Amino acid sequence: MSTTASRGIRAGRASVVRQVRRLSLAGVLVGLLGASVVSVTSPAAAAEVPLSQGRDAIVSSAERGDLSAAAAVDGKTGTRWSSKFSDPQWLAVDLGKSTAIKKIVINWENAHATAFQIQTSAGGNGPWKTVYSTTAGKGGVQTINVSATGRFVRLYATKRSGQYGVSLWEFQVFGTGSGTSTPTPTPTTSTTPKPSATPTTPKPSVTPTTPTPAGGWVPVNQAEWKKTLDAYNKVAPEAVPAGIVRVPEFHTNCEVANEAKDDPVVLPGLVGASHMHTFFGPKVNANTTVDDLFASPTNCDAPGDHSAYWAPTLLRNGKTVPMKNFRVYYGSRLKDPSTVKPFPPGLVMVQGDAKRQVATPKGASGQFWCAGSAETGRSADGNWPVCAPGGNLIYQLSFQDCWDGKNIDSPDHKSHMGPAKDGACTGAYPVAIPNISLMLGYDSLGGDGLALSSGLASSIHGDFMNAWKPENLGALVKVCINAKAKCGTTPGWKK
């Protein structure tokens, strides 16, 4: 990172390895004691395998996809993690279980942190306890002796040594069991833990708290899922009057609730750790849960919709581009929309890829486009349309519409969802749910100077956290989607 050429070889962009909605996988915090001496030494002997090697890791950001969190725990000194060029930045490693931690070895690249902390926690979303802190880091290979216990270990860097990000070849954690570390296998749907036989029964319309099993798979609370289906099944179908457009659809219109560098799905509990997001519906922060959404006011106009929606903020020359409108369409792309069921309680989904940084010239897939007027040209970099007066820049982001029927979240927040096959939900994703499309309308004619907070236009993505009241959602699904009839914000055709 000392020269432009070397950065061109190794530079990287935003990347998250094994994004886990609640990194708080079971693990008990036994105790955390103070850190001790820091010295500049050689790394641990090769025979001693770090507890962290090959484990799941997640970072605040990455300069490019190949400079990811995994490169910092792969045991190779020729690969590295490098962050974006801002403070703070962090890297967290899941050791797989609560473990006595004795030593941390950091092999910095030239772009090191001068001020940083070593923190430990029983869960990936904290609370974090600092076991070592410095404001005089000199880089190189640092060995930090500590006496602590925890499942998660985090390097939290608050000041960079120069204009670039923080970068390190290896982040190694040693302690009880070092030398016999076995990486945690990636979970699959075939090994998804079953929900508790005695789930907590919450108040109506409120999603229960379900313990997060190892691996980031979150099983649906079957008792609450049954209540949702019972409410849906009690809704009587309505005859569709003449003149109604026969499209399975309803919608909700929302306004901007807030903007924040938070993401309660991908980076729960880590305030300010994300790129900037624009949130719609209830106000959201890094600690927001589904229960919080039900208890919060919302600016969405469909009765019963307390769900949260968010996307990366659109910027022009570093300043937020205001929204013109935001609408969420709920529909069905299946051959038989009568098979669609309401969302399970607490379902979360992510669509798109914040790590995708490719050019989007005219004709490329995944285009931003002009609504209400024609495209008259492209930005200088070719990635953004230029809209004629009277129109505005818009993007439509469509989510998957088939669910595995087992989990309301998964390690990457996508694997519990899947596409239809031959127009039906079958196989690993047998449950049909409403297809969501976020219509992001910007008060802009496009053109030069545009970028998403996550990077290029191709990095557009969206998050959904279900907080619909079951009685409202069930009626909309039954009357509108199942009957293949176009509704507005209520079940029926009044608006």
Residue 338 CA to chain centroid, in angstroms? 31
Position 125 scores a pLDDT of 75
Spatial separation of the C-alpha atoms in residues 238 and 258, rounded to whole Å: 38
Q: Which residue is it, tokens 């708290």? A: 209
Query: In sequence order, what E strands does 137-223 have?
Result: 141-160, 167-175, 218-219
Position 357 scores a pLDDT of 93
Q: Which residue is it, tokens 């990194």? A: 23
Q: Do residues 90 and 159 touch, judged by C-beta distance below 8 A?
A: no
Position 187 scores a pLDDT of 35
Name residue 246's beta-bridge partners: none
pTM exceeds 0.95, yes or no: no
Q: Give the side-chain half-sphere CA count within 13 A for 406.
A: 18
- As a whole number of angstroms, the longest Cα–Cα distance in the chain is 80
Position 456 scores a pLDDT of 95
Spatial separation of the C-alpha atoms in residues 490 and 495, rounded to whole Å: 7
Bond from prior residue into 88 cis (ω within 30 degrees of 0)? yes
Query: In sequence order, what E strands does 317-413 have?
Result: 319-320, 323-331, 348-352, 369-371, 375-378, 385-387, 392-398, 402-403, 407-409
In terms of Cα–Cα distance, which of 132, 168, 170 is closest to 150? 132
Residues of the chain with pLDDT under 70: 1-47, 177-215, 494-495
Phi first, then psi, for residue 69 (nearest 5°) are: -60, -40
Q: Do residues 244 and 486 touch, judged by C-beta distance below 8 A?
A: yes
Position 179 scores a pLDDT of 57
Position 441 scores a pLDDT of 98
Q: Which residue is it, tokens 């001020």? A: 115
